[in-house]
Homo-oligomer: A and B are copies of this chain.
Amino acid sequence: MDSLANGQTKQTDIGKPTNPMVSALLCDMYQFTMAYAYWKADKHLNRAVFDLLHRKNPFRGEYTIFAGLEECIRFAANFHFEQYEIDYLRTIMPSTCEDAFFQYLQSVDCSDVEIYAIPEGSVVFPRVPLIRVEGPVLVAQLLETAFLNLVNYASLVATNAARHRQVAGSEKTLMEFGLRRAQGPDGGMSASKYCYLGGFDATSNVDAGQRFGIPVRGTHSHAFVSSFMGLEEIADRCLQYSSGKRTCNDFVSLTQQWLSKLQAVPSFRGLFSETNQSELAAFISYAISLPTRFQALVDTFDVLRSGIPNFCAVALALSELGYNALGIRLDSGDLAYLSKQTRKFFRTVEKEFAVEGFGQLVITASNDINEETLDALNKQGHEIDAFGIGTHLVTCSTQPALGCVYKLVEINKQPRMKLSQDIEKVTIPCKKEAYRLYGVEGYALVDIMKGEAEPPPKAEERLLCRHPFSESRRAHVVPQRVEKLYKCFWAGNSGVPREPLPSLAEAKARCKEQLEAMRPDHLRSLNPTPYKVSVTAKLYDFIHFLWLSEAPVGELR
């Protein structure tokens, strides 16, 4: 990276991309054919402005969490072609391509590029560009696919995580368990990183824990239970007391004694009479190994007749030695019912045996959970404290792609506008600035875009906000506070002061703050209120002037 920093503001906080898969070939082929055509037409240094934006919020919602920016900036900072990459490009480009082009590619980097963006973790809305890339058209165009790739899934899954958090409520523990269902190792890494950003507390993914400092969680699987035949397998039955001063020489018998006591509790009689011995062996063995972290998966055989009594027996034995068990995990069945029954048992145990805190042991659930399941559980009532969420979270199964696009909006100071018969696909031309206007209650009211040369909106000044395409939709706003949305995150050698890249923890904190600054009706799952995105009167007039002059007669209505 430093070799690229010819004269530019020193960017010491930007290292390599976190993903070593990332190379400058992370491109669609057409970017190279276009690069050649730009170069051949001597247009390659034309100064272009590209907007990266989304046109629609995902999951039938009315907001999106912006994520992936840090990776984009690292990509830009390290952007250059290795010799082997250029050698490869020669083989896929037509033999008519001039050698000087490939020599030119060797010198291409992002030192003449500036990147402005909304900070990572922000709540964002369709049409307001998330990233603005300014630079020579050839290199700015080459960034297209990598930026889309790095932003699309990151923002999608962060939004999905935020939505799960909204439904689950702030007091629940949410854990991402999706590594095995993600699109390969890096898909899993992105999922863990951006679910954490969007509001999750932890991940099962150890590698993501190591790379990003995300807390990791996990207990054991059904296979662990199945690997035991019976109690006779437990060779070493000793367990030291928590105090470290004494040792229990037969933790197996101690547990069996507690199981008998449980079976004698009047309200449990009959229910707890026949627990699975291989499951009990597995629980005991796990507890002897990890007495400070005892959490059991209780549904290998039968949750209420075997898993829960076996767990309680081991937890009570641990308690006698001074250890607090963590709780249980449910991975199948009727989670609402099972969690309520389990809580009832835990409370009875607490009362019967006077073990403080037993009634509040953590109940974790983890079977095919999604936003709808969380909502249904809330409606039914449940006693689950923590959720492990995998498949639906990381694959974003209700909408597995976010459709960010990368559009040319200006070249050599000339505004460019992509017309379309589909109004959603029309892009807003020019290099723009964007602001968020806040009202008296501290909530965000509206986002507004303006042309570069216009003065910025000011707090407590009346401002006309217009829908970009609809003549009749307009409103006057007097903001209490005005937030400028774009900051410079990559300055190249322009000398523009540059923001440091926020840490993952900072982006996560920003996401939380920004969600708190949204009116709750914009965030709700069912029929959320659309948040308004507007343009200034001047930009409105300019868009429509350009539209009329660009559109062939009769083509657009």
Contacts and interface: CB of A to CB of B under 8 A. Distances in A.
A50 interface: yes
Centre residue among A206, A332, A406 by max chain B CB count within 10 A: A206
Interface string A371-398: 0000000000000000000010011110
A46 interface: yes
Interface string A169-187: 0000000010111111111
A404 B180 CA distance: 9
A27 interface: yes
A99 interface: no
B206 A96 contact: no
Interface string A211-229: 0000011111111101101
A286 interface: yes
B220 A30 contact: yes
Contacts of A154: 184
Interface string A152-168: 11100100000000000
A28 interface: yes
Copies of the chain in the assembly: 2
Interface stretch (A36-44, A116-124, A503-511): A36-44
Contact of A233 (B34, B43, B141, B290): B43
A527 interface: no
Contact of A21 (B32, B180, B185, B394): B185
B137 A152 contact: no
A51 to B, nearest CB: 11
A4 interface: no
B222 A418 contact: yes
A305 interface: yes
A555 interface: yes
Interface residues of A, number: 120
B22 A185 contact: yes
A539 interface: no
A19 interface: yes
A216 B50 contact: no
A387 to B, nearest CB: 16
A189 B19 CA distance: 13
Contacts of A276: 552
A249 interface: no
Given A21-B21, A290-B94, A302-B552, A221 B30 contact: yes
Interface string A353-375: 00000000000000000000000
Interface string A80-124: 000001001100101011000000000000000000000000000
A177 B28 contact: yes
B210 A25 contact: yes
Contacts of A42: 235-236
A416 B282 CA distance: 14
Contacts of A226: 408, 411, 416-418
A534 interface: no
B416 A227 contact: yes
Interface in A246-294: 274, 276, 285-286, 288-293
Nearest to A286: B37
B185 A191 contact: no
A31 B223 CA distance: 10
A403 interface: yes
Contacts of A96: 290-292
B206 A48 contact: no
Contact of A184 (B27, B186, B224, B419): B186
Nearest to A390: B401
Contacts of A305: 552, 555
A210 B33 contact: no
Nearest to A30: B218
A470 B188 CA distance: 38
A207 interface: yes
A28 B179 contact: yes
Given A150-B184, A181-B402, A182-B187, 16 more contacts: A21-B21, A29-B217, A29-B218, A30-B219, A30-B220, A37-B224, A40-B236, A41-B234, A43-B285, A88-B210, A97-B290, A149-B185, A183-B184, A183-B187, A226-B417, A300-B418
Interface of A: 19-23, 25-34, 36-38, 40-43, 46, 48, 50, 85, 88-89, 92, 94, 96-97, 137, 141, 144-146, 148-150, 152-154, 157, 177, 179-191, 204-207, 209-210, 216-224, 226-227, 229, 233-236, 274, 276, 285-286, 288-293, 300-302, 305-306, 332, 391, 394-397, 400-404, 406-408, 411, 414, 416-420, 422, 552-553, 555
Q: Which 5 A-B pairs have the closest CB atoms?
A: A29-B218, A186-B186, A183-B187, A30-B218, A183-B183
